[in-house]
Amino acid sequence: MERTFLMVKPDGVQRNIIGEIVSRFERKGFQLVGAKLMQIPTNLAEQHYGEHKEKPFFGELVDFITSGPVFAMVWEGENVIATARQMMGSTNPKDAQPGTIRGDFGLTVGKNVIHGSDSPESAEREINLFFKEEELVNYSKLMNEWIY
């Protein structure tokens, strides 16, 4: 089953919407297979956002993501990578549709509440960056019979 890496960014943690965000993915039908509250060290932030190293906002991005605790998660389910991105909404909350997480909770591109992997390759890379294999839990729910 497909897996993705999602993370409530420091602004989302400070604003007490971890539960709101987790709840949306639970209600959608996805399954949580790993989660932790953590403070990201600078070297991990730089690796995680490595693709943006040359961008003018890279320094701000690393400063922000390391500025307070984040809630890192791995979620599983059919098409979870693309569907989670849709549920998050556009990168810039001013363009994000109402009903999406960024559309409902964000105002500016710098503080846009949530991160989600954008492809199967980045999902695998990011899951391995943030979680050890033994931190991910394999289990099945009877409820899945009502989803699939």
Check binding of 110 to ligand RTP (CB under 6 A): yes
The Cα–Cα gap between 14 and 61 comes to: 17
| 102 labelled binding-site residue | yes
Work out which of 18, 22, 109, 136 binds ligand RTP, going by CB under 6 A.
109
In the shown chain, the binding pattern of residues 36 to 75 toward ligand RTP, with x for contact by CB under 6 A and - for none, equals: ----------------x----x---x--------------
Residue closer to ligand RTP by CB (options 51, 78) is 51
- Which residues fall within 8 angstroms of residue 135, CB to CB, at 6 or more apart? 34, 36
E-assigned strands of 9-135?
31-38, 70-76, 114-116
Q: How far is the CB of 109 from ligand RTP (least distance, A)?
A: 5
The Cα–Cα gap between 49 and 43 comes to: 10
Q: Phi, psi (5° rounding) for residue 79?
A: 55, 30
Longest dimension (CA), the chain: 48
Annotation marks residue 48 as catalytic: no
> Of 115, 123, 127, 130, which is the active-site residue?
115
Q: How far is the CB of 131 from ligand RTP (least distance, A)?
A: 17
